[in-house]
Amino acid sequence: PAFTWEVRANDRRYHAQCKRRAAFCLSKRKYRGNAIKTAKYNLLTFLPLNLYEQFHRMANVYFVFVILLQTFPEISTLPWYTLLFPLSCLLLIRGLRDLIDDIGRHQSDRNINSRPCDILRGKSFQRQKWRDICVGDIVRLRKDSFVPADVLLLRSSEPSSLCYVETADIDGETNLKFRQALLVTHQELGSEESMAAFDGGVTCEEPNSRMHSFTGTLEWRGQTHSLDSERILLRGCRIRNTHLCYGLVIYAGFDSKIMRNCGKIKRKKTKLDRMMDRLVVVIFLLLLVTSLCLAVASGFWARMFQEKHSYLAAVYRNTSPAQQAFFNFWGFTILLSVIIPMSMYITLEFIYLVNSCFINWDLGMYYAVKDIPAKARSTSLNDQLGQIEYIFSDKTGTLTQNIMSFKKCCVSGTIYGPGTGHENKEPPGLGPAWDPHGELKVDVTLLEAAQRDSDPVLREFLRLLALCHTVMVEERGDQLVYQAASPDEEALVLAARSLGYVFLARTQDTITIRELGRTRTYQVLAMLDFNSDRKRMSVLVRDPQGSIRLYTKGADTVILQRLRSRGPSEALTERALGLFAEETLRTLCVASKEVSEAEYQEWGRRHHEASVLLQDRAQELDRLYEEMEQDLQLLGATAIEDKLQEGVPETIQLLKLGNIKVWVLTGDKQETATNIGYACKLLTDDTEILEEKEVSSAPTTPSSPSEILQAYWASNNNLSGSGGAPGSSHPSQQCPEASCHRRRAVIVSGDFLDKILHTGEVLKEKKGWPWRWLPRGRTGGSQEQGSLVEKAFVDLATSCQAVICCRVTPKQKALIVQLVKKHKQAVTLAIGDGANDVNMIKTADIGVGISGLEGLQAVQCSDYALAQFCHLQRLLLVHGRWAYLRICKFLRFFFYKTFAGLMAQVWFAFHSGFTAQPLFEGWFLALYNIFYTSYPVLSVGLLEQDVSAKQSLQFPELYVTGQQDQLFNYRVFGLTLLHGVGTSLTSFYIARWAFEDHVGSKAVGDYESFSVTVAVSALLSVLVEIVLDTRFWTVLSFLMVTASLLFFCLFSFLTQSIDAFRIAPAIFSFPDASRNALTDPYVLLVVLLSLVVNTIPSLTVHAFRATTGKTTIQQKIHLKAKKEPEPSVELKAHVPRGSFCRRSSYAFSHQEGYAGLITRGDSLRARATPGDSLRARATPGDSQRARATHST
């Protein structure tokens, strides 16, 4: 890549004058400031931008169109303000909601931009804010502070300018990582004066989103120094175990890598929202067609009328039949425009708001330990919570508590730990020096055995825990503070301390421990470093007596292969490892061997020669490590618990029963992610795991992800026996969702995904990609092939029980979510707690942030905030399903009552000369959807339940209803439309038939009485239909129905009174119409007949469902007993995890390179010599305390 990003230290003027070309020949500053802005609006842009967003809703465009029509008096049948006022209210309500949300984003931006930071100004550092930082500035960072920008490390207070950072918010890993400054800046920049005089220049790549990659050079004093990612501190990471460090700002603000991975805020719309937009278009087209037909009919009727009644020619002399048809078309359009009711959208906003309050008030999602309730940060997505198909979850801090604790161990085949019945007893004769803080519950039997010091294997086991590690120790007063880069190592060292083997101090070539009160210093001859390929680390030491021993710890799969012999003890240890794996504990095997002096001298000479090689140094060292780590004697095994959040396994099981698939996306290592998968029951012991490296069905070993997917699909015939290509349009050639492989899982790495998600780059590197299984005629174009790779991967992953993606970047997380949305059109939910989850949360249809004591970036960008992962079950299975049910019923009832009440206008046109004359009183049209029928429907939208919360969790299978869009879809809408049309036809023509021959001196047969009869018939039919279909009744429900009838009586009395008619006869044109009509027994019988005829079909359907058991709830509950069919095709590519018959639960968080730092002395401060006055006690390191605090 071209290195065009030039940074000059302490030169703000240079960076300010650098411009880059923007759109329309404009230019802007090349180097951004450090202030971030995630808010969408400001004072000037709020009104235009918000209106622009709101008019993306088709309904709002439709209402504006109707309002414009109403401004023409020639065609208007209703006053223009009857729609303008409610539309203004709707826009105002939604605008205020968006404004409140954006104010929260402004506050978040202000808090972040106002964080304090020391910036070099002139010749001294000044306390300023993050927003004041510019590219090229030198900043001073203190311990436990967050890095404000991407900076080049210049110097630190640690030896050799090391800097320890915690990157949990960036990549999800809890172990500390080290960064080291260049030697030249470490030596030359030792004072503030030298910092102020520093004028080095950095040339590097342009800002990008690659979190683990950086390439550049530093030019200073005529010399060029190479830079890589090991010299860079990224924005968002936290300084740990380092008092002070200094850095040169390379990328600031939105140019920093974490911000490049955060993505943009997008307006989220639910499936029902998108469907409603399409329905508005459909209804509007139906309205236009209906109006056109009625207008054409009015033209023909006018011509016939004029020909038949020529004596009225003077009335029509100024208009022709065509002109009348034209004006009537627009008149009918306005008259029927209420078919899409404005009040529905206003009521819908209120329902969303109240349902959000129900989420906020739910004590079942309140975390009393931290006093954190659930919070619905978005009020317009509640119904989509009932339609989730895929959940994408972070691991660190979301599924786990970030706490590692020593749980069990096996020594000489004997298992120690909780479950033996001794762990809660206080052993006699053990004082507080053994475990002063009481942090570890150590098995008393093990503690007593350690105190007796009679078992040499146990002594070597505990000695190994105290010696074989890279933990650093710092003396603070009378305490020892452990500083561990690995939480696993810290847990083991703390366990050894609790058992009497206390790690006291280390130097470049010695390590001092206290063994049961006796201080012993060991000479460190060599440290055989850990890496992900070796899966082990060793230390070669000489004890005070002169004996040399090798202590090794690592994965059981590598340690057991290097034993001298196997006996009963080794067999019992393997059995213990299996038991530990069943408890999903993180296991390590520990072993040792004695090394003769001659053997060490020969090996040490070759080790020294290999360590100074210029070529193939790492390979030669690995070969020597392998040679030394042979013929080991197994001492035992350790078991560490990576504590899960409360209720995680149970929640995942419920979600799986609800047909919701859970994917874990983490930046952590594969072993750690897989172990957590077993711990949270996402994976089980009979799960067959598919990894990219294990697919061997192809004739040759696949060398790229494309070939892996090709081999997989080819060998399994697309799981359907067709052999077609993934992405083929033929149904038989697709991976069927129905054959979801319940006992298989996919585990892939970020590197694998990177080649899939950036297929274009892969194709450039490797031409002639062998997609032999593509159909003919579809071999051209890298973009099409890339899409097929994506489709193949998504089909493969979604067909399995679980998916775990490890070592993924924040951008990759978002791209994975986008892939599933793109190829499966599925509703997705993302949940996380850190800055590395923000992009994923923004990309998913629903974003959930986990609230904590620190790192609220995820919550601030989320739609819903929870304190615990386990609260997800109530959020989805209870509130989500209820919200979907309520909204669907509300929409169905609202459309039904609208069509049932107002379609009579169309039937009346056939009997009024197609003149667009309203059938109903104007006040009835205005109040019908607001007061007369809205309250019962509102009650359903707020309170409806088909089953209780307890039953919703007891039968998670009911959740499938929302995933399959069963309660509101095009079919349901069509049936609702026909139902409403049928009700209006019945109400109108029964009244029409009854009034046709009703004559006599006391007969009621006028137009107003007819209108009231049709109106009352339709109103009562609608209310009875809602009553019959309401499942959950409360006092409020009864009050709502009663209120509708009372409002009809009240407003009819007010708007039809004689006094009102005398005041404004044009406005109150139905004097005493309801009183005259409804006091006539004949009219009441007509209303009763219409009500009975309209109700009988609904009663028949309800009775049929009740007697045949065809209700949705009964069908879903019966799924409990329904067994899923096994797939007919066996997947050849699947390989069980591990090579042993038992499952390996090895996991170890560590970064390669620490051993070299220790042996070179780079990580050591002053030489520590523990005195007799130092008590044998130590406290957890800062990283462990921070994680413990975070999880409290």
The domain limits of the chain are 5-10+115-260, 406-593+632-643+1147-1191, 678-806, 881-1119
Look at residue 625 and give its three-state secondary structure.
Answer: helix
Look at residue 1064 and give its three-state secondary structure.
Answer: coil
DSSP 549: E
Q: Read off the tokens for 135.
A: 């590219």
Q: Which of 440-444, 932-936, 999-1003, 1138-1142 has the lowest mean pLDDT?
A: 1138-1142
The answer to whether residues 553 and 588 touch, using CB atoms and an 8 Å cutoff, is yes
Q: Which of 160, 368, 386 is nearest to 271 (CA)?
A: 386
Active site residues: 394
Cα gap 556→712, rounded to integer Å: 30
User: Which segments are annotated as binding site for Mg(2+)?
Assistant: 394, 396, 833, 837
What was the pLDDT predicted at 328?
Answer: 84
The answer to whether residues 202 and 217 touch, using CB atoms and an 8 Å cutoff, is yes
Q: Are strands 1178-1179 and 479-483 parallel, antiparallel or unpaired?
A: parallel
Q: Read off the tokens for 263.
A: 């993505």
Cβ-proximal residues to 387 (8 Å cutoff; 6+ apart), any chain: 270, 271, 827, 880, 884, 962, 963, 965
Cβ-proximal residues to 52 (8 Å cutoff; 6+ apart), any chain: none
Phi, psi of 1017 (to 5 degrees): -60, -45
Q: What is the mean pLDDT of residues 1178-1191?
A: 40
The pLDDT-based confidence of 398 (bands split at 50, 70, 90) is confident
The DSSP element (H or E) to which 608 belongs, if any, is: helix 597-611
Q: Which of 141-150, 320-329, 971-980, 1033-1042 has the lowest mean pLDDT?
A: 320-329
Q: Read off the tokens for 520.
A: 């012993």
The pLDDT-based confidence of 56 (bands split at 50, 70, 90) is confident
Cα gap 633→636, rounded to integer Å: 9
Q: Read off the tokens for 84.
A: 């303008």
On the question of pLDDT at 429 being above 50, the answer is no
Q: Which of 1043, 874, 1033, 1041 is nearest to 944 (CA)?
A: 1033
What was the pLDDT predicted at 804?
Answer: 92
Phi, psi of 702 (to 5 degrees): -65, 140
On the question of pLDDT at 958 being above 70, the answer is yes
The pLDDT-based confidence of 292 (bands split at 50, 70, 90) is very high
What was the pLDDT predicted at 632?
Answer: 93
The pLDDT-based confidence of 70 (bands split at 50, 70, 90) is confident
| Residue tagged 């969303």 (tokens) | 352
Q: Which of 198-207, 864-873, 1005-1014 has the lowest mean pLDDT?
A: 1005-1014
Question: CA 673, 676, 677: angle at the middle one, nearest 5?
Answer: 85
Cα gap 63→60, rounded to integer Å: 5
| Residue tagged 């904590």 (tokens) | 852
The pLDDT-based confidence of 146 (bands split at 50, 70, 90) is very high
Cβ-proximal residues to 210 (8 Å cutoff; 6+ apart), any chain: 257, 809
Cα gap 857→850, rounded to integer Å: 10
| Residue tagged 């040679």 (tokens) | 627
Q: Give the tens place of pLDDT for each residue, 793-839.
A: 888 888 888 899 988 888 888 899 999 998 899 999 999 887 788 88
The residue type of 720 is S
Total residue length of the chain: 1192
Phi, psi of 1125 (to 5 degrees): -70, 145
| Residue tagged 């009586």 (tokens) | 1049
CB atoms within 10 A of CB 967: 21
CATH class of this structure's domain 5-10+115-260: mainly beta
What was the pLDDT predicted at 771?
Answer: 36
The DSSP secondary structure of 914-962, one letter per residue, reads: T----SS-HHHHHHIIIIISHHHHHHHHHH--SS-HHHHHH-GGGGHHH
CATH class of this structure's domain 406-593+632-643+1147-1191: alpha beta
Instruction: State whether the Cα torsion 621-626-631-634 is positive or negative.
Output: positive
User: Which segments are annotated as binding site for ATP?
Assistant: 394-396, 489, 530, 553, 586, 666-668, 807, 813, 836-837
The answer to whether residues 366 and 339 touch, using CB atoms and an 8 Å cutoff, is no
What was the pLDDT predicted at 441?
Answer: 60
Q: Read off the tokens for 906.
A: 């169309």
What was the pLDDT predicted at 723?
Answer: 40
What was the pLDDT predicted at 1184?
Answer: 44
The answer to whether residues 940 and 890 touch, using CB atoms and an 8 Å cutoff, is yes
The DSSP element (H or E) to which 85 belongs, if any, is: helix 81-113
Mean of per-residue pLDDT scores for the chain: 81
Look at residue 502 and give its three-state secondary structure.
Answer: strand
On the question of pLDDT at 81 being above 90, the answer is no
The pLDDT-based confidence of 783 (bands split at 50, 70, 90) is low
Q: Which of 695, 665, 651, 547 is nearest to 868 (CA)?
A: 651
Q: What is the mean pLDDT of residues 710-716?
A: 54
Indicate the burial class of 546 (C-beta count within 10 angstroms; 0-12, 13-18, 19 or more): exposed
Instruction: State whether the Cα torsion 1019-1023-1028-1031 is positive or negative.
Output: positive
Please report how the helices 1081-1108 and 1007-1029 are oriented relative to each other, as an axis angle in degrees rounded to 10: 20
On the question of pLDDT at 729 being above 70, the answer is no
DSSP 386: G
Cβ-proximal residues to 770 (8 Å cutoff; 6+ apart), any chain: 707, 710
The answer to whether residues 927 and 901 touch, using CB atoms and an 8 Å cutoff, is no
On the question of pLDDT at 66 being above 70, the answer is yes
Beta bridge partners of 806: 749
What was the pLDDT predicted at 861?
Answer: 82
Share of the chain above pLDDT 70, in %: 80
Cβ-proximal residues to 319 (8 Å cutoff; 6+ apart), any chain: 327
Look at residue 664 and give its three-state secondary structure.
Answer: strand
Instruction: State whether the Cα torsion 672-678-682-684 is positive or negative.
Output: positive
The pLDDT-based confidence of 316 (bands split at 50, 70, 90) is low
Q: Give the tens place of pLDDT for each residue, 438-464.
A: 345 677 888 888 888 888 999 999 999
Question: CA 437, 240, 255: angle at the middle one, nearest 5?
Answer: 150
What was the pLDDT predicted at 1109?
Answer: 62
Q: Are strands 150-156 and 244-251 parallel, antiparallel or unpaired?
A: antiparallel
What was the pLDDT predicted at 664?
Answer: 93
What SS3 string covers 1054-1066? HHCCHHHHHHCCC
DSSP 1168: P
Cα gap 1068→630, rounded to integer Å: 102
Q: Read off the tokens for 449.
A: 């055995």
Q: Are strands 375-376 and 390-393 parallel, antiparallel or unpaired?
A: unpaired
The residue type of 312 is L
The pLDDT-based confidence of 911 (bands split at 50, 70, 90) is confident
Cα gap 647→667, rounded to integer Å: 23
User: Which segments are annotated as binding site?
Assistant: 394-396, 489, 530, 553, 586, 666-668, 807, 813, 833, 836-837
On the question of pLDDT at 169 being above 80, the answer is no
Tell me the HSE value of 104 on the side-chain side, using a 13 A CA sphere.
14
Q: Give the tens place of pLDDT for each residue, 535-578.
A: 899 999 999 999 999 999 999 889 999 998 888 888 999 999 98
Cα gap 800→1131, rounded to integer Å: 11
The pLDDT-based confidence of 1155 (bands split at 50, 70, 90) is low
CA max distance for the chain: 133
Share of the chain above pLDDT 90, in %: 35
The answer to whether residues 1009 and 1083 touch, using CB atoms and an 8 Å cutoff, is yes
Instruction: State whether the Cα torsion 806-812-813-817 is positive or negative.
Output: negative
What was the pLDDT predicted at 735?
Answer: 39
Helix, strand, coil % (nearest 5) of the chain? 50, 20, 35
Phi, psi of 829 (to 5 degrees): -130, 135
Q: Give the tens place of pLDDT for each residue, 1113-1154.
A: 555 555 554 444 433 333 333 333 333 456 676 766 666 666
The residue type of 745 is A
What was the pLDDT predicted at 1092?
Answer: 95
Question: CA 346, 348, 349: angle at the middle one, nearest 5?
Answer: 70
The pLDDT-based confidence of 1067 (bands split at 50, 70, 90) is confident
Q: Which of 334-348, 367-381, 949-963, 993-1007 has the lowest mean pLDDT?
A: 993-1007
Strand order in the sheet with 800-806: 375-376, 864-866, 846-850, 828-832, 390-393, 661-665, 800-806, 741-749, 688-690, 1135-1136
What SS3 string covers 352-381? HHHHHHHHHHCHHHCECCCCECCEECCCCC
Cβ-proximal residues to 521 (8 Å cutoff; 6+ apart), any chain: 510, 511, 512, 544
